[in-house]
Chain A
Amino acid sequence: MNRTLERILPKVQKPARYTGGEYNAVVKDKDRVDTRFALCFPDTYEIGMSNLGCRILYGLMNEQEGLWCERVYAPWGDMEAEMRKEGILLYGLESGDPIADFDIIGFSLGYEMAYTNVLNMLDLAGLPLRAADRKDLAPLVVAGGTCCYNPEPLAPFVDFFVLGEGEEVTLEYIELYKKARDEEWTKAELLREAAKIPGIYVPSLYDVTYNVDGTVAAITPLDGVPATVTKRVVEDMTQSYFPAKTIIPSTEIVHDRVMLELFRGCIRGCRFCQAGYAYRPVRCRDAKKLGELGREACLDSGYQEITLSSLSSTDYPGLVDLCDDLLDFCQPRNISLSLPSMRADTFSMNLMERLQKVRKGGLTFAPEAGTQRLRDAINKNLKEEDLLQSVRTAFSGGWNGVKLYFMLGLPTETDEDVLGIADLARKVYFAWKECAPNKARGVRITVSTSWFVPKPHTAFQWEAQIPVEEYQRRVNLLRDALKRDKSITYNWHDPETSYMEAIFSRGDRRLADVLEWAWEHGAKFDSWSEYFDFQRWMDALAACGLDGDFYAHRVREKDEVFPWSVPSVGVSREFLWRERELCYASQTTPDCRTRCSGCGANKFLEGGVCNG
């Protein structure tokens, strides 16, 4: 280990985050490696190590001979200060080598509030922030993850974005890079060729012009690059790479357990949900294969918990059978099963018994809206009676706490809908009174509301986020309505972060200057209250002559050219508009298994039929 590093590690909090050397971390012989990849996650080690996508790419890349992928996370403020003071450049955890000397630097972008960390990490690496100022072929700076479906605020900083699932395309662009390096292409030549790979969006090859009112006038492809870039998907989940053997951190991380990915996509089609549209079509991993992978992952990791992960795990066909298969292995070994995402209408006695066999966790449901009318309008397709039945089941089984998540400010929401949240919470309370076997222990019902952020590539991409005063009024309305219910706790999100999210999630390239200004004035870790400074963001917008409300609170015209017009998730704009109109008619759309609604994502699959 580097001597300077050795001297600073005793001074910082949780130094094990900065050392590498964990079980299963891949260390290769540098003499037998010709391409170095820095897989960067723009948040702390604890959060980045919990990301399954990064684990997949890490495992997949390191299976390749001659290619070495290392991990990089954002150092916390104390470590950053020491690094800057001692002149230590951002390094890969496996080798300790500065990533500025690597071939490719790849960022995983899952949350807009991590953008300033991308800039900060480039700076800590000793690299110019803007792609145009990095003239050499290496290091190439790329980014993937769900934020890339509208990556415009980061466009000037990143050489290209990778849309969709990375299992195949990652190796394709690495091959292209190696060819470019061996044949000594210029960076411009490489980028032009990269743009020919399906799923790769090279922002510098598109010219954006604006109207007087600030909306986008046109996005013009240059050099014959495609007008739309469609995401990549892995067709066969059962055959696709899964990291059963993966790094086991030596310090505690957020999701410190085996993550078993059941399927990708979601059959539900909630109109506010970007993931629900962006990960289409639904592709399941075979149950037998999942059983094998789960056992292998437990044996290799030593973890005592498996989480069955997906966007909506209770929609996995044969979930109970899968649980039984795993429990035969898990129970004698004290390994528990957990489900992170449960629909309130699919929680059954059958399932409950299987989840609590080893250990009993908390129970969380997300009805999202308080009335049936609004739940229909957002296509949540959850009936009140089904939710109440689920909580009765849970309370009868001995659970004495339920968390309920809602959003305020959904399109078409009225005060009646807001007050409906209080009514629903009360009904859940009465369900407890009716069913709890032991009332002496009391009950904890937690209601949490967030401020709805309209996202690109959803039915609500045209919508305005409600103004902050209105959000606050609705919070107060609900708070007053719940005042007297002692068993119900009400939490609400602070509006400032949600406002910034609303700006950046549907932002355009001009916001790059805002990001850079905010970073220059100290912004980083904006998803952490320790660092987030709302006034700094207001100052950044003002300094760049931009109006946050224009991005957050404006209703878009039907045919407006969106900044995110080039990236495509494979779901047609016409379909999304139709869904929006159905919302205003409070009409639901059936789930993908019941009936195909023709969103367009079926074209990703051979034969054009989603199997769900």
Chain B
Amino acid sequence: MAEHRLLFSKSGRARYISHLDLMRTFQRAFFRAGIPIKHTEGFNPHAFVSIALPLSVGYSSECELLEFGLLDGVREEEVPARMNAALPEGIVIHECYKALRPIKALTHLNYIITFDYETGVPDGAETALKELLSRESLVVTKKSKKAKSGFTEVDLIPLIKSWTVEGRRDTLVADVVLAAQNPGLNPELIRAAFCEEFPQFAPGFVSFHRRETLDGDGKVFR
């Protein structure tokens, strides 16, 4: 069913569209754009779309992947322009192509985490973040739907493949490559761990940007 993929970005006002709402938005946008796509079968058929690795509400991204099945009559190259005319502000299609590799080969995600300090980055914050990420192990408790207690423990370090931290005047920018799935790591947990370990360096605001999808060799996944 999912023979095709769209590479799209989500930014600006569109960051606040939730995963489910985004799927609905795409189903309608295909229809508006007059691009026929495959439907699910069964009692209540609907346009099939699937977005790999749901992005948290509020995050921006330049590497989202949507899977769908393009029906005959529309060429892949004309899809981006036609879809862009039918999509809300902030969602931009960059590419439409045939899916060659399975999504499970998408093993890592590159995120940019920006810690914002309105009055300047406090002394020691950069070192503290680097120290945190350099540890052998960093076990945190996170909410879990499966665990009976509602919480489960997870060690962040094995899920962080690589990182760099750069201190600027008002921001601390972490460029991280995290495990994407089975299990994946939500970069929010890095923020939470930092704020818990170093409450004195808790930033005013943190923004998250998904920059690239990667495979096991660290190459770009499409």
Contacts and interface: CB of A to CB of B under 8 A. Distances in A.
A323 to B, nearest CB: 20
Interface residues of A, number: 28
A301 B88 CA distance: 12
Contact of B17 (A16, A25, A300, A304): A16
A22 interface: yes
Given A10-B57, A10-B58, A334-B39, A16 B32 contact: no
Most buried by A among B24, B34, B44, B87: B24
B16 A15 contact: yes
Contacts of A301: 28, 32
A414 interface: no
B191 to A, nearest CB: 11
B12 A252 contact: no
Interface string A1-20: 10000110110001110111
Nearest to B27: A302
Contacts of B39: 334
Interface in B42-87: 44-46, 57-58, 86-87
A16 B21 contact: yes
A611 interface: no
Given A1-B12, A10-B57, A21-B90, A334 B17 contact: no
A9 B88 contact: no
Most buried by B among A18, A302, A303, A304: A302
Contacts of B12: 1, 21
Contacts of A19: 13, 16
Interface in A22-75: 22-23, 25
B140 to A, nearest CB: 20
B190 to A, nearest CB: 16
A16 B21 CA distance: 9
Nearest to A23: B88
B21 A21 contact: no
B45 A334 contact: yes
B25 interface: yes
A476 interface: no
A251 B88 contact: no
Contacts of B17: 16, 250-251
Contacts of A22: 88-89
Contacts of A303: 28
A361 to B, nearest CB: 12
B207 to A, nearest CB: 8
Nearest to B45: A334
Contacts of A252: 21, 24
B88 A250 contact: yes
Interface in B169-222: 204-205, 207
B164 interface: no
A359 interface: yes
Interface string A288-329: 000000000001111110000000000000000000000000
A25 B12 CA distance: 15
B89 A21 contact: yes
Contact of A15 (B25, B28, B58): B58
B77 to A, nearest CB: 22
B29 interface: yes
A462 to B, nearest CB: 48
Nearest to A248: B28
Interface in B1-23: 12-14, 16-18, 21-22
Nearest to A14: B18
Contacts of B204: 7
B111 interface: no
Given A10-B57, A10-B58, A299-B32, A250 B86 contact: no
Contacts of A15: 16, 57-58
Contact of A250 (B25, B34, B45, B58): B25
A21 B57 CA distance: 16
B31 interface: yes
Given A299-B32, A301-B28, A303-B28, A251 B89 contact: no
A248 B29 CA distance: 10
A21 B28 contact: no
A306 to B, nearest CB: 13
B8 to A, nearest CB: 14
Contacts of B25: 23, 250
A13 to B, nearest CB: 10
B30 interface: yes
B44 A7 contact: no
A252 B28 CA distance: 12
Given A16-B17, A302-B27, A302-B31, A23 B44 contact: no
A14 B13 CA distance: 13
A334 B46 contact: yes
A470 to B, nearest CB: 46
B14 A23 contact: no
A299 B33 CA distance: 8
Most buried by B among A18, A22, A25, A303: A22
A586 B195 CA distance: 73
Contacts of A250: 14, 17, 21-22, 25, 88
B202 to A, nearest CB: 14
Given A15-B57, A16-B21, A302 B30 contact: yes
A597 B18 CA distance: 53
Contacts of A359: 44
Nearest to A20: B13
A21 B91 CA distance: 10
Contacts of A304: 31, 46
Contacts of A23: 25, 29, 32, 86-88
Contacts of A248: 28, 88
A299 B12 CA distance: 26
Contact of A16 (B16, B30, B44): B16
A23 B24 CA distance: 13
A18 B31 CA distance: 26
Nearest to B91: A250
Contacts of A18: 16
A161 to B, nearest CB: 34
A415 B113 CA distance: 69
Contact of B32 (A20, A251, A300): A300
Contacts of B27: 302
Contacts of A25: 88-89
A115 B104 CA distance: 53
Nearest 4 interchain pairs by C-beta: A302-B28, A21-B13, A302-B31, A21-B89
Interface of B: 12-14, 16-18, 21-22, 24-25, 27-32, 34, 39, 44-46, 57-58, 86-90, 204-205, 207
Given A303-B28, A359-B44, 17 more contacts: A7-B204, A7-B205, A10-B57, A14-B18, A15-B58, A16-B18, A16-B21, A21-B88, A21-B90, A22-B89, A23-B29, A23-B86, A299-B34, A301-B28, A301-B32, A302-B31, A304-B46
29 contacts: A1-B13, A7-B204, A9-B16, A14-B18, A15-B57, A19-B16, A21-B14, A21-B88, A21-B89, A23-B25, A23-B32, A23-B87, A23-B88, A25-B89, A248-B28, A248-B88, A250-B21, A250-B25, A250-B88, A252-B21, A299-B32, A302-B28, A302-B29, A302-B30, A302-B31, A303-B28, A304-B46, A334-B45, A334-B46
